[in-house]
Structure 1
C-alpha cells in the first residue's frame, strides 16, 4: 500500500496545479505562489518517475541488444555479414559494381577483400571506393565462365541487376 502512492499517475494533479496556478495569477500572491509550489513539486515528482522508467527501459534495451548481438555473432561470420550486405549497383558482362555500407564502415576489410576478389580466375581488377563502399570488379567473361560456380554467381548478379531496374 505504501508503494502505491509512489507510482500514482500524476497527470490529473499536475493539470489541477497548473490550472490553479494560472487561475490565481490575479487572485493574490500567496495563493498563486502556493499553487506554483504544488505544481513545481508535482513536476519534480513526475520527472523522477519518468527518470526511473527511462533507466529501466534502457536496461531492458541494453540486455535485448546484447542478446541479439550475441545471437548474430553466433550465426554469422564477418565475411557472411559482408557478403549479405552487398547490393548490385550496376552490371554489364565483364564489369560489376557492388555496394556495401559495411565496406565504408570497416576500412580494414577493404584491402583483404580486393586481394581476395583478384585471386579469382578471370578477374582483371577489383577496386574499392572507400568513401562510398563500392567494389568495382572487371573480369574476362570467357575465363570466368570456365568455372561453373563463378558462372552461376555472375548469372545471379545479372538477375539482381535486372530486378533493380
Structure 2
C-alpha cells in the first residue's frame, strides 16, 4: 500500500506558503489544502479531506502541527508517521489528549529561538504524549526557515 503524504500549514500561513510550495514542487501527490477559520472549522475540513485515506504520513507546521496531533490522536490506525515543525501543542485544543499516548513514530523539530511557541514546554508535552518520539532542538526560530530546506525529507517521509 502506498503512503499518503499530507502537509498541514500553520495559522498565519496558506498552502502557498514557503513550506507548502516546497512540498508541492518536490512531492506533487502530497495533499496540501488551505485551512481557514477557527480550530473546529479547520479540523472539520481536515477530517473531510482525509476520510477514507490510510497509510498517512502527516507533516504539520505550528498550528498545523496541533491539527496533525489532534487528528492522529483520534485516528492513529490511519497514520504511519508524523513530522511536527514547531507544533503548537501548548494550546488548549490539545488538552483533551494530554492523558493519551501515541505509539507511531513522531519526529519533532523546534527552534530554540522560537518566540511564538515555547520549545521547552512543547518538548515536555511531546515526551508525555508520543511514546516513539525523535525530538530535535535546532538553532532557528519559529518558522524554521534555516532548518526546513536542509532536512532529509526523502528519509523523513518514508516508513522505516
Normalised by the size of structure 2, how large is the TM-score? 0.23
Higher relative contact order (CA 8 A, sep 6+): 2
Choose between structure 1 and 2: higher strand proportion.
Answer: 2
Normalised by the size of structure 1, how large is the TM-score? 0.22
Larger Rg: 1
Choose between structure 1 and 2: higher helix proportion.
Answer: 1
